[in-house]
Amino acid sequence: MKKYVEKWMTVCFIMALILSLGFSPVSAANVTSNTKKAGCVDVTLYEHANYEGEWRHYGCVDSEGYYSLGWWDNEVSSIIINDFNGAGTNCIRVYENQHYGGKSTVFCGEVPYVGDAWNDDIESMRME
Ligand SMILES: [Ca+2]
Ligand SMILES: [Ca+2]
């Protein structure tokens, strides 16, 4: 009988070990880092087409991005995106609403005009 109990104790211990490894904070952190892309892009937003009017520079837009452009919401008409930080991309995804809401599209590199569908409509952005 004692041997039987010891066997069960061993099985329970191994099960607990497997479960604790499977749900450890380390594996959760790995999942998070897989969804967040490394690096960031250099973005300049312009009030008017052809890089005219007021402008605002964002030196490091990462994959978590900017949930709001603040005063710049619904103002942007042209964009320049550079891979100055070694991210391996020069693209951003922009959204029509704050907090990455509504429709979205991707712009890359030099964009002298965002187009009628997006002019004065962008409110949030993140690296693509
Ligand atoms: Ca504008
Ligand atoms: Ca908008």
Question: pLDDT for 94-124, tens place per residue?
Answer: 999 999 999 999 999 999 999 999 999 999 9
Q: How much distance in Å is there from the Cα of 2 to the middle of ligand 2?
A: 71
- The pLDDT tens digits for 4-49 are 667 777 665 656 655 555 554 444 444 444 467 889 999 999 999 9
Rounded to a whole number of angstroms, the distance between the first and last alpha carbons of the chain is 62
| Contact predicate 19/13, CB 8 Å | no
DSSP of 30-92: HHHHHHSPS--EEEEEEEEGGGEEEEEEEEEE-TT-BS--GGGTTT--EEEEE-TTS-S--EE
**Which pTM value belongs to this model?**
0.72
Ligand nearest to the CA of 98: 2
Q: How much distance in Å is there from the Cα of 77 to the middle of ligand 1?
A: 4
Q: How much distance in Å is there from the Cα of 120 to the middle of ligand 2?
A: 7
Ligand nearest to the CA of 73: 2
What does the pLDDT average to over 67-91? 96
- 61 token code pair: 């837009």
